[in-house]
Amino acid sequence: MSTSPISRIPRIGYGWDSHEFQPGVPLKIGGVTLPHHSGLAGHSDGDVLLHALTDALLGAIAAGDIGTYFPPSDPKWKGADSALFVREALRLVDEAGYQIGNLDSTLILAAPKIGPHAEAIQKNVAELLGIEPSRVSIKAKTPEGMGTDNAAIAHVAVLLCEISWP
Ligand code: MG
């Protein structure tokens, strides 16, 4: 790892993702299965929040994106638990000498309401990342005037600090 002063500053990462709703599949957001008549279509389990989080982590260390490591063309990832993608991104973050300071996310979807599940999602994502829930923010909005009622969208920003950061 470079020891130039630039490597000592915190690094920001940002990722976003969208998936279309599909009836008859489980809805997984942040690794939590939510009660709903439709889930998210995708090659893996369609977990839009964990995909955006994976991209944010990889982006923060300039290590490509989720498709670099887990191409949808590879049948290996069909139906995969998206926690796997986050764990690999986290391993690369650790290898680069960084740890997560905090993350902030916004989900945009017409239904179901995220509010009643936000705490469970926050806890699950924090556990997956091995950090306190207070470092994980889960927010949600409805897509007013966007015409995306049949999709779920997730935006995630992360701040990485050096492992030696106090
Ligand atoms: Mg995706």
Quote the ligand 1 centre to 158 CA distance (angstroms): 18
Quote the ligand 1 centre to 54 CA distance (angstroms): 10
Whether 149 has a pLDDT exceeding 80, the answer reads: yes
Quote the ligand 1 centre to 152 CA distance (angstroms): 10
Quote the ligand 1 centre to 109 CA distance (angstroms): 15
* Domain spans, the chain: 11-162
pTM reported for the whole predicted model? 0.94
Quote the ligand 1 centre to 94 CA distance (angstroms): 23
Quote the ligand 1 centre to 88 CA distance (angstroms): 15
CA 142 to chain centroid: 19
Quote the ligand 1 centre to 40 CA distance (angstroms): 9
User: How high is the mean pLDDT of the chain?
Assistant: 93
Q: Specify the DSSP element, H or E, that contains 108.
A: strand 98-108
State the CATH class of domain 11-162. Answer: alpha beta
| Mean local confidence (pLDDT), 106-127 | 98
| Rounded CA separation 35/114 (Å) | 11
**Positive or negative, the Cα torsion across 15, 21, 25, 31?**
positive
17 in Cβ contact with 154 (< 8 Å): yes
Closest CA to 112 of 67, 152, 70: 152
Quote the ligand 1 centre to 22 CA distance (angstroms): 14
Which residues have C-beta under 5 Å from ligand 1, the single-atom ion?
17, 51
Quote the ligand 1 centre to 11 CA distance (angstroms): 23
Please give the structure tokens belonging to residue 14. 């940002």
59-71 pLDDT, tens digit each? 999 999 999 999 8
Whether 137 has a pLDDT exceeding 90, the answer reads: yes
